[in-house]
């Protein structure tokens, strides 16, 4: 009786495999069509040549060499080349925004997960966190202008109560305003995965830590944070990838005076320098993928997916 059963199982195995492939085929097709193919086209165009009038489909590394031209030595003023300076500026914004959104996102998620007992109130407060996303990013950025401008509400209030005599210039169109806008726009991307991780924590572990004599900070650092690593990494990937490629926020809040990699790509595209912009995009993609690879080495994010 065992031999026929084994033969029947072996015959059913290929059918099961075929069905699995058919189920995965639509998703694989969408992934290839909207992700793999565009990336391949960008990589291909980055190897093309161009002039003032046309694109020349010829394999060449000219665009990559021109991007890093002069980066082997310092400039006459002792500065780095434009490309390295731009990447350092972008990484600076990325690091600052990541640190601030991590602290804010963790605090908000911790409050919602452990201090709000009612599921209904949790849902209500979580929905309130999403209210800013009901409007356009550009509108949310522009809303800071009448607040932070030279004659804005903040400066007028500070002058009115006598804290300052002249308006503060660096509130708008500066690194401060860019970081502020980034934090305003993307903190939610850190809150959601961390909150999801915290809701999966067994509350008996917190009670056990308290019974063992652990203080609130010890419980936070030794129990909650390790169990939230997956959510922290996922939120970090969201924030890092968005900030690295953003050019609208830096353009609007920086007054078109602050450089970033995304801004350079946008300017090159506006001047129809598509191969050069594609080469910059490939380099940016490589840098972002290396950052993501480093983050995913810290924890297996598949447990959260």
Identify the pLDDT of residue 14: 57
Identify the pLDDT of residue 288: 94
Is residue 40 predicted with pLDDT exceeding 70?
yes
Q: How far apart are CA 37 and CA 222, in angstroms?
A: 44
User: Could you give the percent of the chain with pLDDT greater than 90?
Assistant: 34
> Largest alpha-carbon pair distance within the chain?
96
Quick check: is 72 in a domain?
no
Whole-prediction pTM value? Answer: 0.85
Quick check: is 34 in a domain?
no
Is residue 18 predicted with pLDDT exceeding 80?
no
Quick check: is 133 in a domain?
yes
Quick check: is 53 in a domain?
no
Quick check: is 37 in a domain?
no
Angle at 256 between CA 189 and CA 270, to 5 degrees: 90
Quick check: is 197 in a domain?
yes
The pLDDT of 19-46, averaged and rounded, is 88
Q: Which residues contact 278 (CB under 8 A, 6 or more apart)?
A: 42, 43, 45, 46, 48, 63
Quick check: is 27 in a domain?
no
Is residue 162 predicted with pLDDT exceeding 60?
yes
Is residue 239 predicted with pLDDT exceeding 60?
yes
Stated as kind and residue range, the H or E segment containing 55 is strand 55-56
Domain count, the chain: 1
Q: How far apart are CA 122 and CA 113, in angstroms?
A: 8
Query: How many alpha carbons lie under 13 Å from residue 288 in its C-beta half-sphere?
Result: 21
Is residue 16 predicted with pLDDT exceeding 60?
no
Write the pLDDT tens digit of every residue in 73-83: 777 676 788 88
Q: Which residues contact 154 (CB under 8 A, 6 or more apart)?
A: 147, 148, 168, 171
Identify the pLDDT of residue 102: 96
Domain residues for 87?
79-303
Contact 266, 231 (CB under 8 A): no
Write the pLDDT tens digit of every residue in 285-303: 999 999 999 988 888 776 6
C-alpha torsion sign, points 240, 244, 245, 251 = positive
Quick check: is 125 in a domain?
yes
Task: Indicate which CATH number applies to the domain containing 260.
Answer: 1.10.3720.10
Identify the pLDDT of residue 305: 57
Pick left, alpha or beta for residue 152 (phi over 0 → left; psi -120 to 50 → alpha; otherwise beta): beta
Q: Which residues contact 11 (CB under 8 A, 6 or more apart)?
A: none
Write the pLDDT tens digit of every residue in 179-238: 999 999 999 999 999 999 898 888 888 889 888 888 888 888 888 999 899 999 999 999
Identify the pLDDT of residue 36: 92
Identify the pLDDT of residue 1: 47
The pLDDT of 161-171, averaged and rounded, is 87
């Amino acid at each position: 009786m065992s031999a026929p059963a084994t033969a029947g199982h072996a015959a059913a195995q290929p059918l099961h495999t075929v069905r699995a492939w058919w189920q995965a085929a639509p998703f694989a097709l969408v992934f290839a069509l909207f992700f793999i193919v565009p990336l391949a086209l960008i990589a291909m165009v980055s190897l093309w040549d161009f002039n003032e009038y046309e694109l020349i489909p010829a394999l060449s590394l000219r665009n990559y060499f021109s991007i890093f031209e002069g980066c082997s030595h310092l400039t006459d003023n002792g500065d780095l080349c434009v490309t390295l300076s731009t990447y350092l500026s972008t990484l600076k914004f990325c690091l600052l925004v990541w640190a601030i959104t991590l602290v804010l996102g963790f605090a908000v998620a911790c409050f919602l997960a452990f201090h709000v007992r009612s599921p209904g109130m949790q849902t209500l407060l979580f929905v309130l966190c999403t209210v800013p996303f009901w409007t356009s990013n550009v509108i949310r950025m522009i809303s800071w202008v009448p607040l932070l401008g030279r004659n804005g509400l903040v400066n007028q209030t500070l002058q009115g109560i006598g804290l300052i005599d002249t308006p503060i210039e660096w509130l708008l169109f500066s690194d401060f305003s860019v970081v502020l806008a980034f934090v305003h726009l993307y903190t939610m991307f850190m809150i959601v995965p961390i909150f999801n991780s915290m809701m999966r924590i067994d509350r008996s572990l917190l009670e056990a830590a308290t019974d063992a004599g652990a203080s609130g900070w010890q419980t936070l650092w030794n129990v909650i944070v390790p169990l939230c690593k997956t959510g922290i990494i996922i939120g970090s990937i969201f924030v890092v990838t968005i900030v690295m490629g953003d050019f609208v926020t830096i353009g609007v809040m920086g007054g078109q005076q602050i450089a970033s990699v995304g801004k350079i790509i946008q300017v090159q595209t506006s001047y129809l320098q598509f191969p050069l912009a594609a080469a910059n995009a490939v380099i940016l993609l490589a840098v972002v993928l290396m950052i993501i690879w480093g983050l995913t080495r810290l924890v297996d994010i598949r447990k959260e997916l």
